[in-house]
């Protein structure tokens, strides 16, 4: 497997399914490379200074060396099927991107996902099919020379790690060893929003999880996700999702 300079380890699959709206916080730890099919809904992958918009039917690749979070909208549902692995390949560095693949490759991804839930022989077949998929995918992937702002990456990871604690832009700036104005400038220039808007998106996503999976009162959910008042929580929730927390729960 290693003669070509390319080999795969820890191949796995996961299906993400949500209702109406979902904000995925990403992960500050080293992530796997993911190849995914957008089966329902539409979304935006956001990574440092760029955004990638995806829609139903798209096949997307997200490399393991880029910290990436995403925001999703469904009418009414969102479904994304991922194959994930550590892809050991020194050929080039690349960014999240949509792949130009046909029906055969899409069906191949779905088949690999099914095989990964089987026994040892099915697992071996899944790896063989995945290498075949890479024969199609790797040659068309576009290399990247994008400059990754390390300060912004550190800021994003700080917010996603500390969203559930008392938060201030001053503390964020101090953690990144820059001024508050620099933090505001980076978030607005690269992500098109303020640090507080980014924080609120994370908190609303957690609130949605509570609304879907618990019977907590709206006031309790508001408190759990760190909003200073229930009215403030309701207003931010409506701005991001287009509905109120109570209506969201009833529709769910």
- Tens digit of each residue's pLDDT (9 = 90 or more) over 67-118: 788 889 888 899 999 999 998 877 667 889 999 999 999 999 999 999 999 9
pTM of the model: 0.71
Dig out the tokens for 150 from the structure.
């390390």
Alpha-carbon distance 208 to 103, whole Å?
34
Alpha-carbon distance 39 to 18, whole Å?
12
Question: At residue 27, does pLDDT exceed 70?
Answer: no
Tell me, what's the pLDDT at 147? Answer: 58
Alpha-carbon distance 21 to 238, whole Å?
11
Tell me, what's the pLDDT at 148? Answer: 62
Tell me, what's the pLDDT at 28? Answer: 44
Question: At residue 160, does pLDDT exceed 80?
Answer: yes
Dig out the tokens for 3 from the structure.
């003669």
User: Binning pLDDT at 50, 70 and 90, where does residue 48 land?
Assistant: low
Question: At residue 155, does pLDDT exceed 60?
Answer: yes
- Tens digit of each residue's pLDDT (9 = 90 or more) over 169-207: 999 999 999 999 999 998 888 777 899 998 998 899 889
Instruction: Please give the domain boundaries of the chain with CATH numbers for all domains.
Output: 6-140 (2.60.120.280), 150-251 (1.10.10.60)
Nearest to 143 by CA among 29, 32, 61: 61
Alpha-carbon distance 188 to 198, whole Å?
10
Question: How confident is the prediction for the chain on average, in pLDDT?
Answer: 88
Question: At residue 2, does pLDDT exceed 50?
Answer: no
Q: Give, in order, the Cα–Cα distances in Å from 9 to each of 12, 40, 129.
A: 9, 28, 14
Tell me, what's the pLDDT at 3? Answer: 43
Higher per-residue confidence, 60 vs 208? 60
């Amino acid at each position: 497997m290693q003669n070509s300079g390319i080999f795969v380890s820890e191949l796995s699959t996961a299906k993400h399914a949500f209702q109406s709206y979902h904000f995925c916080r990403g992960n500050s730890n080293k992530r796997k490379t993911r190849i995914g099919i957008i089966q329902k809904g539409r979304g935006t992958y956001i990574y440092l200074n760029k955004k990638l918009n995806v829609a139903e039917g798209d096949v997307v690749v997200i490399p393991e060396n880029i910290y990436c979070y995403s925001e999703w909208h469904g009418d009414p549902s969102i479904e994304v099927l991922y194959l994930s692995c550590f892809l050991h390949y020194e050929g080039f560095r690349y960014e999240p991107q949509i792949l130009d693949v046909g029906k055969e490759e899409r069906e191949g991804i779905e088949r690999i996902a099914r095989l990964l839930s089987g026994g040892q022989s099915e697992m071996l077949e899944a790896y063989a099919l995945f290498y075949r998929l890479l024969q199609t995918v790797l040659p068309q992937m576009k290399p990247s020379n994008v400059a990754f702002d390390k300060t912004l990456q550190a800021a994003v990871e700080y917010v996603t790690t500390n969203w559930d604690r008392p938060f201030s832009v001053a503390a964020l700036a101090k953690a990144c060893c820059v001024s508050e104005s620099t933090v505001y400038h980076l978030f607005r220039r690269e992500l098109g929003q303020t640090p507080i808007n980014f924080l609120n998106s994370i908190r609303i996503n957690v609130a949605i999880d509570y609304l879907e999976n618990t019977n907590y009162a709206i006031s309790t959910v508001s408190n759990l996700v760190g909003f200073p008042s229930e009215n403030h929580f309701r207003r931010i929730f409506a701005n991001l999702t287009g509905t109120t927390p109570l209506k969201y729960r009833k529709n769910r």
